[in-house]
Amino acid sequence: MQAETATQGTPPAAAPAPPREGATRLRAALGRWEALLIGLIAITLIAGSALSEEFLTADSFTTGSLDLSEVALMALALTLVIVAAEIDLSVASMLALSSALMADLWNRGLPLELIMPICLVAGALCGAFNGFLVTRLGLPSLAVTIGTFALFRGLAYVVIGDESVTDFPATWTDRGFGNFAGTFIPNTIVLFAILAVAFAVVLHATPFGRSIYAIGANQEAAYFAGLRVKRIKLILFTLSGIVAALAGIVISLRNSTAAANVGQGFELTAITAVLLGGVSIFGGRGTILGVILALFLLGAIQKAILLSESISSYWIQIVTGALLVGSVLGPNLARRVSEMRRRHAHQHPLEEGQ
Amino acid sequence: MSAPAAAAEGARARRLTEWVYRVRELGIVVALAVLIAVTAAIEPRFIETDSLRNLALNASIFAILAVGQTLVIVTRNVDLSVGSVLCLSAYLAGDLLSGNQDLPLPVVFALGIALGAACGLFNGLLVTWGQVPALVVTLGTLYMFRGLAFLWTDGRQVNAETLPDAFLNLGSDSILGVPILVLFALVVLLVTGQWLRDYRAGRELYAIGSNPEGARLAGVRSERRVLTAFVLAGALAGLGGVLFTARFGTVDATAGFGYELTVIAAAVVGGVAIFGGTGSVYGAALGALLLGTITSSLIVLRVEAFWQQAAIGALLLVAIAFDRLVGLRVDAALRRRSARRAG
C-alpha cells in the first residue's frame, strides 16, 4: 500500500551496466519464484513424511486437498483481480450468500439442477455490484469490498438466518465429497484443475489476459493504449463473484450443509495463497502456476502439521503468516544486499583514485 | 503570486478543507441523532441511562482501536492485525492478574500497552525497513499473532472470578456519571486528535499519506513517521486489549476475532480515506459510535439481528460513495480557485 515500495521486485531500470549484471546473476541464482515454491514444497514433503508415516499417502492427499478446495477455486479468480491491481475481500461472503441461497431455494422445493444456476447468477450479480462501484463510481476496491464483505454476509443471514439445510440428495453430496472415477483425486480437485487450466489459458495466452497485466502494470498507460480498462475490471469482479458462488455450491455439497456462516475468513486464506504464489499486490505480475504451487504448499503444510503428533495445529497459522510476509520480504532483502554490495564495489575504486 | 497572497490562499484552502471535515463529522452526528431519536420514539427504553451507558461502553473499545487505525490509514497504510494484537494484550492482562491479584493496575496497563507496541513495532519494521506492503505484512501478522495467542493460551481461558474486583470495576464503574472506559476513550481521542492536528509529526502523517513522494522531497522522514504510526496503533490495540479484559472478564484465544474489518469500517464511515491523507480521529471515533449504535438499536427494535451486518456494509458503501462525490467537488473548487488567482 505504500507507494515507495511500489517498485519492489523489479530490477532498478536506470542502474548502470555493471550492477545490472549483478542483478541478473542474482535473479538467475534465486531462479523464478515458482522454482522457490517447488523447493519449499519439496522441503515440506520431506519434513512431513519424517513427521508422520501417513503423510505421503493417497488418503492424506484426498483429505488435505478437499479442505482447501473452495479457497483454491476462489484464489483462481482472485489472481486475475489482483494482477489487475484490484482486490476482492468479499469472496467468502459471496460464497456464504450462495450457500444460503441454495439452502433457502431448496427449502422452497426447487430442484438442485435449477438452484445451482440461480446461485451462479446471484454470484455474478454480487461481483458485478463490486465491479460497478469500483469502475463506475471510482471507489477504491479495498474499501468497497470491505463494505460488501459485511453486506453480502449480512444478506446471507437475512436469507436463511441461523438455520442450515442438510438434506440435499445423496447423489449430489456424493459428487461433492467423492473421488473422481475410482482414483484418489477428489471431484472438487478435478473441478479446480479444469478451472485452473481455463484461467491459466485466459491469463497467459489470450489478448484479454495480456490486457489484465497491462492494466495492473500501469492503468493510465493501458487506458491510453486503447484498452477498455473499466469494462475489463468489471468482467474480472463479475468472474470473481461467479467463482465464489461456485465455491459456495461446492462447500454446501461437500459438507452436505448449506448455511450463512460457512467459509468465515476464507478471503484471507485465498489472498494469502495468491500473494504467496508470487502475484504482486500492486498488480502486473504473477502466474496461475505460482498460485497453484502456493495452494499446494499451504495444503501440504497444513496436512503435515495436522498429522504430526508433536506439533500443535496452532502452528499452521503462524507458519502461514510467516510465509506470506517472507514471500515478499525475502526478495526485498536479497535485492538490498545486492545493492549494498554494488555500492561497495563502486566506492572502492573511487576512494583509491582520490 | 506574492508571498502574503499565497499564504492567504493556503489559509483559505485549509479553511475549506477544515469546513468539509466539520460538515462530514456533523453528518455522522446527525445520522446518530436521527437513529437514536427514531429508535427512542419506537422503544422509549432505548434512551434510559443504562441502555445509553452500555452503548457508550461498547463503543469505547472500538473507538480506541479506530483512533489507532486512523493513524495508520492516514499514512496510506493499513493494519489488519489489530484484532490479534488486542487478543494478545487482553490475555496478557488476564493471565498476569489471575496469577497475582495484587499486581498494581498501572503495571498491567503498561505491560499490555508495551506488548501491543512491540507487535506494532514488528509490523512497522517490516513495512518500512523490509519494504513489504502493509496489507501483506498485517495480513501475515494477523495470522501469526493469532496463532501465538492460541499457542500461548493452549485452550485455557481467563475468567472474571479469577480477576481482582478493582480491575473489573474499571470496565463498569463511572466517575461523575461518566463510565471510566469512556474516559479512557476520550483521553486517547483528544490527545491523538491534538497531536495529529497541531504537531509537526502529526501533520507529516497526512503529508506522507497524501503524497509520499512529495513528502520525501520536502524532507519528511517518512519511514520513521510510518513506524511511529504503527507503534502507536499497536499500543492502542494493546490498551484496547487490557480494557477488553476489564470489560468482559472472559478472555480466550478468540478474543477480538474479526475486529479488524469492523475497525477499518468504523474509520472509513467516519471519513478516513482508505488511500490516506484525509480524515480525523474524531470522525473515526464517531464512526465507531455510529456502528455500535446501529447494532444496539437494531437489537432494541427487534429487527432480526441478521440485518445488522448487512446494514453496516451498506452504510460503509454509502459513506465512501458520499466521500468520493464530495471529494470531487472540493477538488474542483480548489482548482477553480487557484486557477482564478493565478490568472
Q: What is the ipTM of this complex?
A: 0.81
Interatomic CA distance for residues B288 and B285, integer angstroms: 5
- Please report which confidence band the pLDDT of residue A7 belongs to, taking 50, 70 and 90 as the band edges: very low
> Contacts of residue A305 in chain B, CB cutoff 8 Å?
none
Instruction: Cell numbers for B112, please give them.
Output: 499490555
Q: State how far the Cα of B140 lies from the Cα of B132, in Å rounded to an integer.
A: 11
Mean pLDDT of A148-174: 90
Optimal mutation site among B88, B139, B208, interface A, most CBs of chain A within 10 A: B139
In angstroms, what separates the C-alpha of A170 from chain B's closest C-alpha? 30
Mean pLDDT for A151-159 is 93
Containing B15, the helix (H) or strand (E) segment is: helix B3-42
- Spatial CB neighbours of A5, under 8 Å, sequence gap ≥ 6: B131, B132, B133
Contact B317 A325 (CB under 8 A): no
- Indicate yes or no: CB of B306 within 8 angstroms of CB of A157: yes
* pLDDT for the residue numbered A24: 58
Mean pLDDT of chain B: 89
Q: Which of A147, A281, A317 sits opposite B136 (nearest CB)?
A: A281
Could you tell me the pLDDT band of residue B258, with boundaries at 50, 70 and 90?
A: confident
Which residue, B300, B301, B306, is CA-closest to A161? B306
Nearest to B133 among A2, A153, A323 (CB): A2
For range B258-277, the mean pLDDT? 88
φ/ψ (deg, to 5) at B75:
-85, 15
Query: Going by C-beta distance under 8 Å and a sequence separation of 6 or more, which residues neighbour residue B69?
Result: B78, B79, B82, B233, B263, B264, B266, B267, B272, B284
What is the maximal distance between C-alpha atoms in chain A?
Answer: 88
* Cα–Cα distance, A230 to A251 (Å, whole number): 32
- Choose the most confident range, by mean pLDDT, from A247-256, B49-58, B273-282, B301-310: A247-256
Q: Which amino acid is at B256?
A: G
Alpha-carbon gap: B74 to the closest alpha carbon of chain A (Å): 11
pLDDT of residue B7: 66
Selected residue with higher pLDDT from A293 and B336: A293
Is residue B229 less than 8 Å (CB to CB) from chain A? no
Q: Are B313 and A322 inside 8 Å of each other by CB?
A: no
φ, ψ of residue B68 to 5 degrees: the values are -60, -45
What pLDDT, in 10s, does the model give residues A227-248? 999 999 999 999 999 999 999 9
CB-nearest partner of A137 from B139, B275, B321: B321
More confident residue, A273 or B258: A273
pLDDT band at A194 (very low <50, low <70, confident <90, very high): very high
DSSP B133: -
pTM summary value: 0.84
User: Which residues in chain B have Cβ-Cβ distances shorter than 8 Å to A82?
Assistant: none
B9-48: per-residue pLDDT in tens? 667 766 776 777 777 788 889 989 998 898 888 888 887 8
Residue identified by cell 520431506 is A46
| CB-nearest partner of A151 from B133, B305, B310 | B310
Between CA B1 and CA B9 the distance in angstroms is 10
Q: Are B112 and B261 in contact (CB under 8 A)?
A: no
**pLDDT at residue A126, rounded to an integer:** 97
pLDDT reported for residue A353 = 44
State the pLDDT confidence band at A347, using cuts at 50, 70 and 90: low
pLDDT at A342 (0 to 100) = 85
pLDDT attached to residue B299: 81
Q: Do B313 and A152 touch (CB under 8 A)?
A: yes
Which of A143, A154, A320 has its CB closest to that of B308? A154
Kindly report, residue by residue over A271-302, the tens digit of the pLDDT.
989 999 989 888 999 999 999 999 999 999 98
Give the pairing of strands B178-179 and A258-259. unpaired
Question: What does the pLDDT read at residue A19?
Answer: 46
Instruction: State phi, psi for B63 to the nearest 5 degrees.
Output: -65, -40
A to B CB pairs, distance under 8 Å: 177
Spatial distance between the Cα atoms of B85 and B233, rounded to a whole number of angstroms:
10
Q: Is the dihedral of CA B142, B148, B150, B153 positive or negative?
A: negative
Residue A2 pLDDT class (50, 70, 90 cuts): very low
**pLDDT recorded at residue B6:** 62
Q: Answer yes or no: do A154 and B268 touch at CB < 8 A.
A: no
Calculate helix-pair angle for B281-300, B307-342, nearest 10 degrees: 150
**Closest-approach residue (CA) in chain A for B131:** A5
Q: What is the pLDDT of residues B63-122, one digit of tens each?
A: 999 999 999 999 999 999 999 999 999 999 999 999 888 899 999 999 999 999 999 999
For residues A159-176, average pLDDT? 87
- Could you tell me the CA-to-CA distances from A211 to A174, A224, A231, A317, B281 in Å, in that order? 40, 12, 11, 35, 40
pLDDT value for A352:
47
Task: Pick the range with the lowest mean pLDDT from A59-73, A207-221, B44-58, B217-231.
Answer: B44-58
Per cent of chain A over pLDDT 90 is 53
- The lowest-confidence range among A3-7, A108-112, B57-61 is A3-7
User: Which residues of chain A make contact with B313, given a CB cutoff of 8 A?
Assistant: 147-154
Q: Sorting pLDDT into bands at 50, 70 and 90, what band is A60?
A: confident
Q: Provide the pLDDT for residue A349.
A: 55
